Each structure stands twice: as structure tokens, then as C-alpha cells.
Structure 1
Amino acid sequence: MNRAERLSAVLDLLAESSQVEVEQIVERLGVSPATARRDLDALAQQQLLTRTRGGAVAHSVAYDLPIRYKNQQNPDAKAAIARAASALVPRGAVIGLCGGTTSTAIADALMARADIMEPAPDPGLTVVTNALNIAMQLSMRPQIKTVVTGGVVHSRSYELVGSYVDAVLGNVTLDLAFIGVNGIDPIVGPTSHDEREAAVNTLMASRAAHAVIVADASKIDKRAFAAIGPRRLFTTVITDEGATPEQRQRLSEHGYDVIVAS
């Protein structure tokens, strides 16, 4: 585990109970007490935590995540998809992330990247997002430039939706956009339960040189209410090993480049 990954892991430990002790870091990460203390000091200098005698406490955060982010389904599949998505992102890229549990996992994977988290004059990554939870996560990483769209908060998902989003997304260009979906049908394409989220996702994808659908196997061959399109807006689908060979073949036959994450 390199230093950037270790610092990210310390913050994850801190998030579990809002405080962490040096002994916990030593036990969980397998480092020396001196290394644990240096890591806490480094994070305190970045104002990501407050040092205490023998450990640290988290800065107060004035929000709590919706239940969908706490009890996500298929976490292993989504973590695998997140790693595959992260592998497509070069350092210094400008990417779009919509809301949802898979996009949240992608944000986690990007924050664990040593090349992105390396201190440098220019951002290691620029992320444009309409998801408040992702923006809050990324705002703790000074190496990542975080751009939040305008909009009205959707209380179910903590996503910003509505016409105000257009003001930001209509004036940016993205290298990549990762779009989570509620369903992906080979013929109909990607769909969402909510037409407002679908509209934002469509616009975000249209601003990207490469728009990627991220969907675990449970979403394949499913249709939801609102189309995210037009049909040829997306060229790539990242899914997990739960997708059957037949499902992968159907997606390929209808023009998708299918990446199976493991």
C-alpha cells in the first residue's frame, strides 16, 4: 500500500466512527505507530481531520447519506466495476460522474489512485458531478478539482436535477462520463426510474468525448421509465462477471463495447 492509498484508508477508518486511534491504524493497516502518527499529521495539515492525543477525530459534516448509499446491493460487483472505470481515466482528465452507488464507488476508486493523489501544481483530476455526496467526498481531496452543477436537490438520491444543471453542463467539455442506470436493454438502451435524473445523465453524457454506462449484471435486460439517450450516445458498458455470456453477446451485437470487470 503506497502513501496515497494509506491516507485514503485512514480517512475510511475515520468515517466508520468519526474518530480513530493510532493503535487502530497500526492494527488495520499493518504500519508502525510512527507511520500512523505521520499520516494523521499529514491529514491534519490538509484540514481533513483534527488531531487528538493518541489519534484524531473527524471534522463535522452537516449531512447524512440516504439509505441507498449505506446499504447498497452487490457491493463487490460495484467495486469491481469502479476499478475498471478508474483504469480508463488518465491522470489530469476531466470526467463526469452522475449520482448513484456505482458512481460513488468510482469516486472511491479514483481517490485511492496514487498518481491522482500525488501533490502537484495542477489537479490530478477534475470531476464534474451533480451528486452532493460525491462532491462532499471529493472536496476533502485538494488534488481533485471538483465542479458541482447547479440544480434542485432530489431528496431520494441527493442528486441535483432540473434546468439549472444546464448552466454548468452546457459550458463544459468532458473526456469521460460515467453514467449509472436502473436498466440497460440492448435494444432500448439505458433507462432510469426518474425522468429528471435521466435528463441530467443524458446531458452529461452528451458533453463527453466518451460516455460509459456502468451497470452491474442485475441491471442488464431491464427497462425503467425514462430513456437516457439517444440510443447511440453510449459506446461502452462496464459490467461485472455476473453478466451471462448471452447478455454480453446481445449488448455487443447492438453496438456496445462490453468491459467485464473482475
Structure 2
Amino acid sequence: MNRSERSNIILATLAREGSVDVERLVEELSVSPATVRRDLDGLAERQLLVRTHGGATRGSLAYDLPERYRLDDDGAKRAIASLASSLVSRGMVVGLSGGSTTDMLAQMLGMRADLRDDTGRAALTVVTNSVNIASTLAVRPHIKVVVSGGVMHPHSYELVGPFAEATLGQLTCDLSFIGVNGISEEGVFSVDEESEAVVNALIARRARRAYVVADGGKLGASAFATLPAVPGLGLITDDAAPAGMVSALREAGTEVTVAVAAGALHATA
């Protein structure tokens, strides 16, 4: 395992748990304490963590770790993103909010060979308020990237506020995919910040068809800000989602599609 791979694991653990310690990392990474300390010192120099006596924390850093520093091998998110990608075809305008699953979806769209040709013209347009997603797709000449204006949220790297809302309000998408932090049995979706809730709902509303993309762990969870209602908003999740929650959502009128690791899907309602 090289230093970059170790750093990804360290940062993913830090993003998930808020702190790491040297002894645990030595065991997980199968390297010496000196190697772990050097890795932590290097990440601290890049201001990606705060060193402590026995390890590191996020400390008082005023941001969450960017998605590009997190592990991208989550099987559930990959299955969801793959299914969402299969709904996208050439010539579409696709709206994407920020989030780890939408970021993975953007990566998949960027790598799809069927969206590239020899003309040099964009075969797909992606509208996003996510700085991370815009950066991911910037090197893909077959994808036209439209970025909303707005103020960058320090925790999610999403553009929010009146400028974002004004830009997105003038656009129409064929499909939109948005991320959330919580989903109730009644089909109420929530995120951590009220400004993101407004913009995410707007991205969904400006599409002819819109889906929340969220792994099963989000079902039954709740977050601070509820998304304004979006008629017909569907959900794409994975097969780890609690069956009772899936049934309750369908009974409440939410179309739920369940992706499995092999890329197949369960029945929808």
C-alpha cells in the first residue's frame, strides 16, 4: 500500500469518525508507527487534519473533507450510481447536486465510452452547484458543464444562496439526481443545511424526472433541514435499505428503485 492509498484511508476514517489514533492505524494499515506519524504530519501540513498527541482530529477546521479525499470503493454507492447512470443517454441535460453518490455518478458519466465520439462536441450537459463535481468533469470534453453561481458552502463545497437559485431557476433538465442526509418513512427528505435544502429541491424541480440517490443507511435517518416538497421525486437506493422502510415509502407514494451490487434492480412501485 502506497502513501496515497494510506492517506485516503486515514482521511476517510477521519471524515466518518472525526478522529484517528496512531495505534489503530498501525493495525489497519499494517505499517510502522513511524510511517503513520509521517503520513499524519504530511496531511497536517496540507491542512487536511489537526495533529494530536496520539493521532489526529478535524479540530476546528471550518470544512468537511472534500469528497475527492474519501474512499470511492463503497459498493452500495457504486451500485446506486451505476443504476442512475444507466438512465442517462446522449443529448440529455442532467442536474447533479453535491454528495458522495452524485460525485460517483459524475465520475461514471465522465468515463462512459458511449458518450464520446470523434466530433469533439459535447454529448451531455451537466448542471451542478457542486464545485467537486465541476472539477471532476472539467477534463471531460464530451461533457458540457454548467455551474450555478452562489456562495460556496464551507462544509460541502456546494454553491448556495440567491445567485445559485437565480441561475438554476432559468434552466431545465431532463434528469436530476440529488443527495440527502436523511429520509423518513413518509418520504420526507432532509439535509444538514437549510440553504442546501432549497437548492437541492430546485435542482430536482427543474427536471422532467428527478431522483434522490442515497444508500440504505440514510433511510430512517433525519437531518436538520427538510427539503421543500418536489412532486414525483423518486428514490434510488441499495439493497441494504431496510425492507420495512422501503415498503413504507412506497405506500406513502414514493417510487423506490433498489440497486444491487451486480447492477440489477428489484421491482419498483
Q: Secondary structure at the match of 1:233?
A: coil
**Superposition RMSD on alpha carbons, in Å?**
2.2
8 Å CA contact 2:66, 2:132 repeated in 1? no
Amino acid at match of 2:250: S
Q: Corresponding residue for 1:45?
A: none
SS of 1:164's partner is helix
Q: Quote the offset at 1:253 in angstroms.
A: 0.7
Pairing partner for 1:248 from 246, 249, 253: 246
- The 2-side partners of 1:73 and 1:85 are apart by 16
TM-score by length of 1: 0.72
* 1:2-47 per-position Cα deviation (integer Å, ceiling 9, x unaligned): xxxxxxxxxxxxx98xxxxxxxxxxxxxxxxxxxxxxxxxxxxxxx
1:207 to partner: Cα distance = 0.5
- Structure 2: distance between partners of 1:141 and 1:119: 13
1:21-36 residue pairs with structure 2 within 5 A?
none
TM (norm. structure 2) is 0.70
Aligned in 2, Cα 1:76/1:68: closer, same or farther, shift over 3 Å?
farther
Q: Equivalent residue of 2:162, what SS?
A: coil
What does the per-residue CA deviation read over 1:79-128, in whole Å, with 9 as the maximum and x for residues that have no partner? 11100100111111001000111110110111121111333354211000
Alignment of 1:233 with 2:231, yes or no, is: yes
Change (3 A) 1:185 1:234: farther
Which residue does the alignment assign to 1:223?
222
* Runs of 5+ unmatched residues, structure 1: 1-14, 17-63
In the other structure, the counterpart of 1:153 is 152
Partners of 1:123 and 1:149 lie apart in 2 by 19
Q: Equivalent residue for 1:85?
A: 84
Is the Cα contact below 8 Å between 1:81 and 1:239 reproduced in 2?
Answer: yes
Counterpart of 2:145, as a letter, is T
Is residue 2:65 matched to residue 1:67?
A: yes
> How far has the Cα of 1:74 moved from its partner?
7.8
Change (3 A) 1:74 1:199: farther
The CA distance in 1 between the partners of 2:144 and 2:64, in whole Å, is 24
- Alignment: residue pair count: 201
Asked if residue 133 in structure 1 is aligned to residue 132 in structure 2, the reply is: yes
C-alpha distance in 1 between matches for 2:192 and 2:132: 20
Cα deviation per residue 1:62-81 (whole Å; 9 max; x = unaligned)? xx995251235981111111
Cα separation, 2, equivalents of 1:167 and 1:257: 29
Distance 1:220 1:73, change over 3 A: farther
- Matching residue of 2:192: 193
Contact kept in structure 1, 2:72 and 2:104, CA below 8 Å: no
Structure-2 separation of matches of 1:86 and 1:73: 16
Q: 8 Å contact 1:111–1:117 — kept in the other structure?
A: no
Which structure 2 residue ranges, 5 or more long, are not aligned? 6-47, 49-62, 261-269
| Bigger shift: residues 187-196 or 76-85 | 187-196
For residues 73 and 248 of structure 2, what CA distance do their matches in structure 1 show? Answer: 23
Inter-partner Cα distance in structure 2 for 1:251 and 1:109 = 28
Going from structure 1 to structure 2, the CA distance change for 1:74 and 1:223 (only over 3 Å counts) comes to farther
User: What is the CA deviation profile of residues 126-185 of structure 1, one whole-angstrom value per residue up to 9, with x for unaligned ones?
Assistant: 000000111011110010000000000111111101101122111110011101000111
Runs of 4+ in 1 over 4 A off after TM superposition: none
Q: Per the alignment, do residues 185 and 120 of structure 1 end up closer, same or farther by CA in structure 2, a change over 3 Å counting?
A: farther
8 Å contact kept, 2:190–2:226: yes
Deviations 1:186-244 (A, max 9, x none): 315111110011111011111111110101000001221111121x4343110011012
SS of equivalent to 2:241: coil
Percent of residue pairs bearing the same amino acid type:
44
1:181 is matched with which residue?
180
* Amino acid of the structure 2 residue aligned with 1:261: A
